[in-house]
Amino acid sequence: MRFTPNSLLAGLVFSGFGLLVAADTDATVSTTAAAIPANVTAAVIDLLDANHILHFLDVVDAFGHVSVRNPVNSSQFFMSYAIAPALTTSQHIVTYAINNATAVALTFNSSVVGAKVPTGFAERYIHSEIYKKFPTVMAVVHSHTQEILPFANQATVPFVSQIHTSPAVGDVGVPIFDTRTLSANVLATSALHDLLVRTEAVGDALAAKFVTGSSVVLMRGHGMAVHSTSIRDVVLNTFYVKQDATVQLQGILLGGGRVAPLSLNSLEIANASVTVHGSFVPRAWPLWVKQVDNNPVYENDLRGKAAPAATGF
């Protein structure tokens, strides 16, 4: 096209329209962006870091997931749609209704609505049902961490807290959720028996396995679910559940399988929980954030490389 004065004018008018349309679209997007409460952005910044840190620490691999309850609407939670946790950015975060784990919207992209939200994790019911049953829970992790699987696959040696960094394991013996024990009205005989938590009913049965004194449930042949009152706490706790499993297994081997290693007792667990929450989480978080910031696999597009907030979600 030759730029005659007329075509230039037409071009200007046309692009003027384009600008208007673009400005309109931008206005819609930025109005929505402006409407995202600061606490939601702050919670999702921690959620993205949690996804990356859990991968960095070998708690999750290509699979597994972490979520956070919406701090301004306790009936919702945020979690990525079905992608590897290491690759999560704000554009993958979905707002889910706790009621039935259905997608409400892409949290940071209002132009994608309803059925257009990409497919979520089949096992998002783990999260929705734990939030439903425990109103004070703010964050949930589900992982297939290999170190805990020996304890998930047998019920004769109770998995208990071995180290001062793992009071979340508890001294009661972590319950084991076994899909084989579910009645046919929870998991129909004709349903998939691939050990995944694919429905509200199975998620509810899993959530019902949590006991006072442990924030962990092991899942036979599969992995674990961990909950906590904050996202930074659930990350640290889940990492040390993994470490705890290694220590306990080594302790059992060292004792020739004849002596059960000592667990922290309930007083130690109570006091260590306060120390972990008050001192260890704030010290570990900036280190782990720096480590994922220095690895190009991970991108937190909401935080850039700014230091994490002093207080987390």
Which of 123, 200, 268, 299 does the annotation list as catalytic? 123
Cβ atoms of residues 105 and 95 within 8 Å? yes
For residue 229, state whether it binds ligand NAG (rule: CB under 6 A).
Answer: no
User: Which among 91, 130, 125 is positioned nearest to 228, based on CA atoms?
Assistant: 130
Q: Looking only at residues 57 through 76 of this chain, which bind ligand NAG when binding is defined by CB under 6 A?
A: 71-73, 75-76
For the chain, the residue count is 313
Q: What is the DSSP letter of 38?
A: H
- The radius of gyration of the chain from alpha carbons, rounded to an integer in Å, stands at 23
Q: Looking only at residues 251 through 310 of this chain, which bind ligand NAG when binding is defined by CB under 6 A?
A: 267, 270-271
With both helix axes pointing from N to C terminus, report the angle between 38-56 and 231-254 in degrees, rounded to the nearest 10: 20
91, 146, 154, 181: residue in contact with ligand NAG (rule CB under 6 A): 91
For residue 32, state whether it binds ligand NAG (rule: CB under 6 A).
Answer: no
Tokens 């704000």 — which residue? 90
123 counts as catalytic = yes
111, 146, 154, 181: residue in contact with ligand NAG (rule CB under 6 A): 111
List, in sequence order, every residue forming a beta bridge with 141; answer none if it has no partner: 66, 226
Cα 21 to the chain's mean position, in Å? 38
For residues 60 and 79, which CB has a smaller minimum distance to ligand NAG in the complex? 79
User: Which among 275, 277, 283, 280 is positioned nearest to 308, based on CA atoms?
Assistant: 283
- How many residues touch ligand NAG under the rule CB under 6 A: the total is 19
97, 163, 211, 252: residue in contact with ligand NAG (rule CB under 6 A): 97
86/55 Cα distance (integer angstroms): 6
| CB neighbour list of residue 295: distance below 8 Å, 6 or more residues apart | 56
Shortest Å distance, C-beta 285 to ligand NAG = 15
Binding piece for ligand NAG, criterion CB under 6 A, among 91-99, 173-181, 192-200, 207-215: 91-99
For residues 38 and 184, which CB has a smaller minimum distance to ligand NAG in the complex? 38
Shortest Å distance, C-beta 40 to ligand NAG = 9
Instruction: Say which amino acid occupies 71.
Output: P
Residues serving a catalytic function are: 123
Binding site for ligand NAG (CB under 6 A): 29, 39, 71-73, 75-76, 91, 97, 99-100, 102, 104, 109, 111-112, 267, 270-271
